[in-house]
Structure 1
Amino acid sequence: MRHAELHQTLEQVVQGFCRLKNIGEVSSGEGFAINFEEWEWEVGVGLYGFWQYALSQNDAGLQQSILAWYEGQLAKGLPAVQINTTAPMIALSLVAGHTGREDLLKVVNDWADSLLQTLPKTEEGGFQHVVKEQPNTGHLWDDTLFMTCLFLGSAGVVLKRKDLIDEASYQFLLHTRYLSEPASGLWYHGWTFIGQHHFSGAFWARGNAWITVAIPEFIALLGDSLDASVKRYLSQVVARQVKTLCQMQAENGMWHTLVDDPLSPQESSATAGIAYGMLRGVRMGILDADVAGSALRAWDALRNRIDDRGIVLEASKGTMVGPDLQYYCDIEMAPVPYAQALMMLLLLELQQGEWLA
């Protein structure tokens, strides 16, 4: 794929994100105005990908489109602080730091304080995976590290608050202890302190993708603000995970919804996230160069799963911790903003790292 063709595909995927109004609802609009209506994790991941794209293009118009979405949401009033509603705060912390606007910095600071002071905690001070549907008492989920701790770390850098960086680092370490399976390095979807188990024991692909993405992003966002021992530890965690993920990859380059079950559906958002995290980690020097081959095989499979409107196909809807493994296999596929975002990040990395040259 030539550079111009790669850029055209990236632009189509960004426009596909802008067309999404709600989960599974695609408008016929053109351009880069964001139509998604709800402040939730799905659009939060999308906004993070969009912001990285806008920065890479050094495009003031794209950056203004994101700012306009946030200004509209702030005017309506923000929802209660919990894990999933924190996801849109990741990009907002970066926007606030980029613009230096005091009103946005205050929103970021207040939200971070609320996370530390009011979010329910599990045993050992873990961030309980509270969502709008249910409190999930005593639960740790792998999603939390992307949705909440990337924000907390980024906010700590922007606001120059070491307490936020320390808390985010602790959450990464604690979640690793309870969710990472020692033998394989794969991550379980959830852990409950109440029942002392991993629910159905699912090695859920998108959950693993959140980790493959979140660890390199956390290290990159924090830079020299991250303790060297934490960086070293997390680098080993993701390297161990990725080694096994390469072994679990399907022959066509995709990953299955349950990474260790070749009969479960293949899933695009997880595949894009895993491939992106691999390439990002290689370029950062925290992953071995040979894993890039698996990531490029994944891209070969994914490029055929982007339609003419820029919509990423074969991505599954939001997924709770399932009571059994069949639950994960039955999740419906639909156009979703986080698939657009993870594909954006992969395409940006392909472009910036000149992986296809």
Structure 2
Amino acid sequence: MNRDALMGTLDRVVRGFCRLKNLDEVGTSDGFSIHFEEWEWEIGVGLYGFWRFADFQQDTALQQSILTWYETQIGKGLPEMQINTTAPMIALALVAKHHQRQDLLAVVNDWADALLRDLPKTEEGGFQHVVKEQANTGQLWDDTLFMTCLFLGVAGIALKRQDLIDEAGYQFLLHTRYLSDPASGLWYHGWTFVDKHHYAGAFWARGNAWITVAIPEFIELMGEHLDTSVRRFLSQVVARQVRTLCELQADNGMWHTVLDDPLSPQESSATAGIAYGMLRGVRMGILDDSVSASALRAFDAVMARVDDGGLVLEASRGTMLGWDIQYYCDIAIAPVPYAQALTMLLLLEMDQGNWLEATR
């Protein structure tokens, strides 16, 4: 693949994202207007990838498309604050800072304050993974670090509030303590303080991908505002995880839904996220150069799963905590905005890191 083909694929994937209207509906539009109607985590991850693309392109029309979506949603009234509804706030904080929109920065500030004040906490002050379906009392989930703590960090930068960055850093540390397996470095999907266990004990692939993405992203976004010891600790956490991920990669470059179960389905959103996090971590200097070979094999595998309309195939839908491994194997496959976003980020990194040179 040359750069022209790479950028053409990126364009198709972005257009594929814009075709998604809801979780079960793919439209026919081939433009760059956002049609997704629900303010939830799925679109939140998608918007983050879309904003990164618009910023990379320095395209004011794309940036305006995102701004228009947010203005429409805010005008309708935002949903109740919880973990998953915080995900769209990540890109909003970036958009508000970029445009220096004081009205939007006020929305960001109010949401951040509500998270700290009103979100139920677990023992030791963890962010309880509250979602619209249930309160998940006493539960920590690995998804939280991307969906909520990236927002706190980005909001801290936009609002010049070190307290938000510090709280995000603490949540990364606490979640690592209870969700990262000390033997392998892989992450469990969830932990309950109520019954003291990891449910199915599953090393769920997309959950691990959230970590492989979120740690380098958090470190890079926070820059000098992140405590040096926290940066050092998190760098070691993701490095240990990635070493094991490389060992578990399938021969075709994909990762399985349950990472250490080769009979579980292979899954593209996890593969895209893991590959992106690896390449970004190598470029940042927090991961060893040797892991780039696994990431580039994964890139090829994901590219083989992008259809002519730009939709990323073989991605699984949203996944609650499972009580057994079979639950993770049975999750439905569908076009989803987060698969589009993680693939956008991977394609952007391939260009920005000059990784195409490594494939020649």
Alignment of 1:321 with 2:304, yes or no, is no
Report what 1:209 is aligned to.
209
Deviation at 1:68, TM superposition (A): 0.4
Report what 2:70 is aligned to.
70
SS in 2 for 1:21: strand
Alignment of 1:179 with 2:176, yes or no, is no
TM-score, length basis structure 1? 1.00
Report what 2:26 is aligned to.
26
Q: Which runs of 5+ in 1 are unaligned?
A: none
Post-superposition Cα deviations, 1:162-181, rounded to whole Å, max 9, x if no partner, equal: 11011000000000000000
CA distance in 1, matches of 2:228, 2:16: 39
Deviation at 1:24, TM superposition (A): 3.1
CA RMSD of aligned residues (A): 0.4
Report what 2:338 is aligned to.
338
Deviation at 1:302, TM superposition (A): 1.1
SS in 1 for 2:251: coil
Report what 2:2 is aligned to.
2
CA distance in 2, matches of 1:114, 1:25: 32
Identity of aligned residues (%): 75
Report what 2:102 is aligned to.
102
CA distance in 2, matches of 1:271, 1:302: 7
CA distance in 2, matches of 1:116, 1:92: 18
Deviation at 1:229, TM superposition (A): 0.5
SS in 2 for 1:213: helix
SS in 1 for 2:215: helix
Code of the aligned partner of 1:266: Q
Post-superposition Cα deviations, 1:82-103, rounded to whole Å, max 9, x if no partner, equal: 0000000000000111111110
Alignment of 1:294 with 2:294, yes or no, is yes
- Note the 1:236-315 alignment, pairs <5 A: 236-315=236-315
CA distance in 2, matches of 1:171, 1:333: 31
Report what 1:117 is aligned to.
117
- Note the 1:26-45 alignment, pairs <5 A: 26-45=26-45
Post-superposition Cα deviations, 1:226-268, rounded to whole Å, max 9, x if no partner, equal: 0010000000000000000000000000000000000000000
CA distance in 1, matches of 2:71, 2:181: 42
SS in 1 for 2:356: coil
Q: Which runs of 5+ in 2 are unaligned?
A: none
Code of the aligned partner of 1:8: G
Give 4+ residue runs of structure 1 displaced > 3 Å after superposition.
none
CA distance in 2, matches of 1:105, 1:300: 39
Post-superposition Cα deviations, 1:110-145, rounded to whole Å, max 9, x if no partner, equal: 000000000000000000000000000000000000
- Note the 1:159-198 alignment, pairs <5 A: 159-198=159-198
CA distance in 2, matches of 1:205, 1:254: 10
Deviation at 1:18, TM superposition (A): 0.4
